[in-house]
Amino acid sequence: MSEKYYVEVLTSLSPEMQDIMMELEKDAFPGIGAVDEQTLVPIARFGKLIVYRETGDPRPIAVCELMREYNAPQRAYVFGYYVRSDQQGKGIGQKFFAEVMNIIDEDGFDQICLTVDVSNTPAVKVYEKLGFEIKETREAEYGKGEDRYYMEWRKTN
């Protein structure tokens, strides 16, 4: 990892960081809602909230929210993953996800799953480059008109 960028795992959130994270969520997911402190705090405490930072920038430039799948504890679920809009197009998404995958591997997971908007072609392409496969299309996953691809990655031995 470059000295300019670094990974941080947040285990708690100050009120200021909660505000920053909610602002970033609204930027990443405009119009469809975003997580708030009622979701962010439990993810930080009981899941894993990973942020990618750039030296000198107080706001994370990328965020990954992880949970363990209850019915398949070997599988990590990516609840949210995004790169700040002013940082997109710089290859940060792939660099950060490589770091996230290292953390997931260190935590003992051998599978990762996520959902992605069917119209988010750039994200789908990034996930496919990382080895994810589309397993199904889930219609109205988050309500009417919110169709998602369900994608999985499995560790190969």
pLDDT tens digits along 17-40: 988 988 888 888 877 666 777 888
Question: According to the 3-state scheme, what is the secondary structure of 86-115?
Answer: HHCCCCHHHHHHHHHHHHHHHCCCCEEEEE
- Are residues 94 and 83 in contact, defined by beta-carbon separation less than 8 angstroms? no
Q: What does the angle CA 125 – CA 130 – CA 133 come to, to the nearest 5 degrees?
A: 70
Q: Model's pTM, two decimal places?
A: 0.88
Paired strand residues for 6: 53
Rounded distance between C-alpha atoms, residue 62 and residue 5, angstroms: 10
Q: Which two tokens stand for residue 120?
A: 């988010």
Domains and CATH numbers, the chain: 5-114 (3.40.630.30)
| Predicted local confidence at residue 34, as pLDDT | 67
